[in-house]
Amino acid sequence: MPKDDVDILLVEDSPEDAELTLHSLRRNNLANRIHWARDGEEGLDFLFCRGPHSSRSFRHPPKVVLLDLKLPKVDGLEILRQMKEDPRTRPIPVVVLTSSREEADVVRGYRNGANSYVQKPVDFDQFREAVRQLGLYWMVTNEPPPDTTYSRG
Amino acid sequence: MKGYLKSFVPWGIALSLALVVGAAALSYRNLLEQTEDSEWVAHTHVVIERMEVLRAEVWKVENARRGYVLTGDPQFLARFSAGRDEIQKSQGALRALTADNPVQQKHLEELQPLIEKRLGLLDRSLAVHNAKQPDDAQQAALTLPGADLTEQIMAAIDAMETQEKELLQKRTERAQESGRRSRILVPVGMAVTIVLIVAAFVLLRREVVERTRAEEQVQVLVETLEQRVRERTAELEAQANTQREQAALLDLAHDSIFVRDVNNAIQFWNRGAEETYGWRKDEVLGKVTHSLLHTQFPEPLPKIEADILEHGRWEGELVHTRRDGSQIVVDSRWALQRGEDGSPTGVLELNREITERKRAEEEIRTLNRTLEHRVDQRTSALAETIKELEAFTSSVAHDLRAPLRHVDGFGRILQEEYAEQLGPEGKALLDRVRRATQHMGELVDDLLNLSRVSRRELSPVMTDLNTLAGEVIEDLKAGCERRHVEFRAGPLPFVVCDPGLIRQVYTNLLANAVKFTRPRDPAIIEVGQSDCNGRRALFVRDNGVGFSMKYADKLFGVFQRLHRPEDFEGTGVGLVTVQRIVHKHNGRIWAEAEVDRGAAFYFTLEGLEERRSAESPRPAGGVHAQG
C-alpha cells in the first residue's frame, strides 16, 4: 500500500470539530490514515489530485469522505456537486456532517449526491457513537468500489 | 225551418202553380168551347133564319108576279125586282154562312139553278104579260112548271133547314155539354185553388211561427252577446285603467323603464327614461332602442336574446348614449313578456344608472390596487426583514452550537482521559459544566426548530389524526417503560393539515403530558376532540401536576416556564412552537388547568369544522401503555 493511501478524508474547517472527530475515530481505531483538509479548496485539491496533492493518484481514492457543509472558500455542497459530476470521484462514498437539523434538510435535497449524513450533536457521546457507527460501516462493512472504476484517472 | 220543408217549398209552389194553371187552362178552354158552341148555335139560328127569309122571298117574288099579272100594277113589278135582288143576296149570304159546311154548299149549288130557273119562268111570265098577247094559256103553261119548281125549291130549302136543324141540335147539345163541364171544372179548380191557398197559408203560418221563434232566439243570443261585449268592454276598460295606473306608477320610478316589442320598437317609455336619456316619450315610441341609445352589450346580442328566450330574463351592465351624446352605464334588467299563447310579445327593460357607482368602484379598485401594491411592497419588505432576522437567528444558533459542542466534547475527553487527575469533586464539577452545556444545546436546538417551523411552508394533505396521534403515542411509550402511563385515544377526525407539523404538535403536547404526570401512578393521558362553545377542538389532557390559570398567559411565551427546572426540565420553547404551528393552520390554542389536578390543551385547526362527517369511530378505551 503506497504511503499516500488514505482511508478517510475529513474536510472540516473547525479545528475543534476536527479534533473531536479525529478523537472519536481514533478511539474506535479508525484513524490510522486520515487526511484532514481545512477548507473546501484543499478538499477539492486532494480529491482531484492537484496543487499540493498533484502527486496523488485517482487510483487510490479515500474509502470515505467526511464532509462538513459550512466551509471557507468552497462550501461542502459545491464539493459534493463537483465530486458527483466527475466519473473519477463519483463512486467515493460521502458522509455529510451537519451541525443542525436545518442543514440536514438541505442535505436531504442533495440525497442523490450524498451517501449519508450525520448531525453533529451537542452531546459528545452521541456524536462519538454516530462517528463510530459511520466509520465501521464505511470502513468495514461497505465494500469499496473495485479499482477498475478509477482506471480512467 | 226544417230541411225537408225547405226543399219542399219550390216543388210545392211549382205543383200548386201547375194545378192552378191546369185548372184555369181547362176552364178557359171549356169556356172557349162553350162560347164557340154558343156562337155556332147562334150561327145556325141565323142560317135557318136566312133560309126562312129566302123561302119568304121566293114566295114574295111569286106573289109579286101574280099581283102584277093580275093587276098590272107596277108596284108589284118593283116588289118583284126587289124580291129578286133579295133572293140573290140571301143566296150569297147563305153561301157565306155555310162556307164551312160542304153539305149545305152542295145543297146551295143544287138550289141555285132551281131558283134561277124559277126566276127565269117568272121573267118570261112577266114578258108574256108585257107583250099584251093572249096570255092566259101561256100564263098557265108557265104557271104549272113554275109551281113544280117552287115545290122543288121549298123542298131543297126544307132539306137545308133540316140539315141545319140537325146541326143546331148537335151544337146545342155540345154547348150544353160544355156548360156542364164548366159547372164541374170551375168548382173543382176553385176547390184546388182554395186547398192550395189554405195549404200555403198553413205553411206560411208555420213558417212565420218558426221564424218568430228563431228571431226570438237570435234576439236572446244578440242580447247575451251584447251583455258579454259590455262586460268585456268593462273588463278591458278596467284593465286599461289599471295599466294606466300602473304606467303612472312606473312614471314615479326613478329608474328608466321601457317596454319594447319583439322588433325592439319602443312601446312604453316612463318618465324616468325621459329624465335619464333626454328623449321624450312621444319622440321615441316606435323607435328601435338599441340604435336609439347606441347600446353597447357586455356579450353578443344574439346570445343575450337566446338567453332571455330561454330563461325569461336577463341581467347585465349596458352602456347607453344619451340624447346629449354623453355615455352612461346602466344596470339593466330585462324581463320577457309573453302573450296568452305563450309567444314572446316584448321585453320590459328596467335600467338603473350606475355610472357614478361604476366610477366610484373604479376609484375603489384603483385605490385597492395602490393599496395592494403598497401592502405587497410592505409585505415583501417585512418578509425580507423577517427572513434576514431568521437567517440571523439561525446563524447565531448555529454558531452558538459549535462552541457548545466543543465544550461538551472536550469536557467529555477530559472526563474520560484525565479522570484520575480530576478527582471526584473535579469530575462532579465537570458534570455540571457538561449538563449546562447540553441544556444550552437543547435551547439552541429548540430555538432553531422554532425558527424552522416559522419559516416552513405548509404542505397540507388529508391526514388521519388517529394514525398520527397513535404513532406519536407509540414513540413516547418507549420513553416511559418504567412508569405506569395509561394513554386513552378517543376518535379523532380527518383533517387537511401539514402532517409533519401536526405530528410536532402532538409530540410536544404529549411529551409535556408525560413529563408533568411523572408523580402520578397511574398517569392518565387522553387525546380526543370535544365541543367548545359550538366549535370543535382537539385536546390533549393529563392528570398531571397542572398549573395555576393565573399564569396561563405566560404559557406560550418563549423561554417562559411555570415549573422549576429541578422539578421538571425544559426549555420553554415547546409550547411556543405548538402555538406557532396551530396559528399557521389558522387555528387557536388554549389551556385549562388546575394546580395538582391536571391540564388540558385545546386547539383548533382550519377545516376541522367541515370534516366532522369524515371521522372514523374508535372503540373507547383507546391505547394503553402500562409499565
Strand order across the beta sheet in which B485-489 lies: B485-489, B523-532, B535-542, B599-603, B589-593
A123 vs B contacts (CB less than 8 Å): 408, 438, 441
Structurally, how many domains does chain B consist of? 4
Q: Of B409, B440, B444, which has the smallest distance from its Cβ to A20's Cβ? A: B409
pLDDT one-digit tens code per residue, B36-45 = 888 888 888 8
Query: Quick one: pLDDT band at residue B163, thresholds 50, 70, 90?
Result: confident
B413 vs A contacts (CB less than 8 Å): 20, 23, 124
Judge if B267 and B279 occupy the same domain.
yes
DSSP, collapsed to helix, strand or coil, labels residue B535 as: strand
- Decide if B406 and A17 are in contact by the 8 Å CB cutoff: yes
Q: Of B394, B406, B437, which has the smallest distance from its Cβ to A102's Cβ? A: B394
Return the pLDDT at B147.
80
B244 domain residue, yes or no:
no
DSSP, collapsed to helix, strand or coil, labels residue B319 as: strand
Return the pLDDT at B554.
83
Among residues A131, A143, A136, the alpha carbon closest in space to that of A66 is found at A131
- Decide if B441 and A121 are in contact by the 8 Å CB cutoff: yes
Instruction: List the grid coordinates of B559.
Output: 423561554
Beta-bridge mates of residue A18: none
Return the pLDDT at A150.
44
pLDDT of residue B455 exceeding 60, the answer is yes
* Mean residue pLDDT across chain A: 78
Minimum distance, in Å, between the CA of residue A25 and any CA atom of chain B: 13
Contacts of B405 (CB under 8 A, 6+ apart): A16, A17, A20, A99, A120, A121, A122, A124, A127, B441
Instruction: List the grid coordinates of A107.
Output: 442535505
Return the pLDDT at A26.
82
Judge if B342 and B415 occupy the same domain.
no
B186 domain residue, yes or no:
yes
- Decide if B398 and A20 are in contact by the 8 Å CB cutoff: no
- Decide if A20 and B405 are in contact by the 8 Å CB cutoff: yes
Domain boundary among B353, B382, B398: B353
As a whole-number percent, the residues of chain B with pLDDT over 90 amount to: 21
B203 domain residue, yes or no:
no
In terms of average pLDDT, the best of B571-575, B596-600, B620-624 is B596-600
Return the pLDDT at B617.
42
Q: What is the DSSP-derived secondary structure letter of residue B132?
A: T
- Helix residue ranges per DSSP H, A28-123: 40-47, 76-85, 101-109
- Decide if A17 and B405 are in contact by the 8 Å CB cutoff: yes
Judge if B371 and B451 occupy the same domain.
yes
Return the pLDDT at B616.
43
Chain centroid to CA A141: 17
Judge if B48 and B7 occupy the same domain.
yes
C-alpha distances in Å from residue A57, one per residue of A67, A80, A144: 20, 19, 16
DSSP, collapsed to helix, strand or coil, labels residue B194 as: helix
Residue A14 sits at the chain B interface (C-beta within 8 Å): yes
pLDDT (mean) for B278-288: 89
pLDDT (mean) for B211-223: 92
Return the pLDDT at B579.
92
Q: Of B401, B437, B442, which has the smallest distance from its Cβ to A100's Cβ? A: B401
**Longest Cα separation, chain A:** 43
pLDDT (mean) for B183-209: 84
pLDDT of residue B600 exceeding 90, the answer is yes
Q: Of B398, B409, B412, which has the smallest distance from its Cβ to A99's Cβ? A: B398
pLDDT of residue B626 exceeding 50, the answer is no
DSSP, collapsed to helix, strand or coil, labels residue B528 as: strand
B610 domain residue, yes or no:
yes
Query: Quick one: pLDDT band at residue B133, thresholds 50, 70, 90?
Result: low
* Mean residue pLDDT across chain B: 84
CATH code of the domain occupying A8-140: 3.40.50.2300
Q: What is the DSSP-derived secondary structure letter of residue B253?
A: -
Judge if B42 and B176 occupy the same domain.
yes
A65 vs B392, residue with greater confidence: A65
Q: Is residue B445 within 8 Å of residue A122, measured between CB atoms?
A: yes
Minimum distance, in Å, between the CA of residue B563 and any CA atom of chain A: 25
pLDDT of residue A21 exceeding 70, the answer is yes
DSSP, collapsed to helix, strand or coil, labels residue B606 as: coil
B410 vs A contacts (CB less than 8 Å): 16, 20
pLDDT (mean) for B98-125: 83
Judge if B43 and B98 occupy the same domain.
yes
Helices B419-455 & B355-417 angle (0-180, nearest 10)? 170
Judge if B484 and B604 occupy the same domain.
yes
Residue B412 sits at the chain A interface (C-beta within 8 Å): yes
Judge if B505 and B593 occupy the same domain.
yes
pLDDT (mean) for A68-81: 85
Query: Quick one: pLDDT band at residue B622, thresholds 50, 70, 90?
Result: very low
φ, ψ of residue B99 to 5 degrees: the values are -55, -30
pLDDT one-digit tens code per residue, B13-71 = 788 788 778 878 887 888 888 888 888 888 888 888 888 888 888 888 888 888 887 88
pLDDT one-digit tens code per residue, B543-566 = 999 888 888 888 888 777 778 877
pLDDT one-digit tens code per residue, A28-61 = 777 678 899 998 899 999 999 998 888 888 888 8
Q: Is residue B623 packed enough to be buried (19+ CB in 10 Å), middle (13-18) or exposed (0-12)? A: middle
DSSP, collapsed to helix, strand or coil, labels residue B101 as: coil
Residue B501 sits at the chain A interface (C-beta within 8 Å): no
Residue A133 sits at the chain B interface (C-beta within 8 Å): no
Domain boundaries, position B532 = 459-614
CATH of the domain at B305: 3.30.450.20
Query: Quick one: pLDDT band at residue B615, thresholds 50, 70, 90?
Result: very low
Return the pLDDT at A133.
78
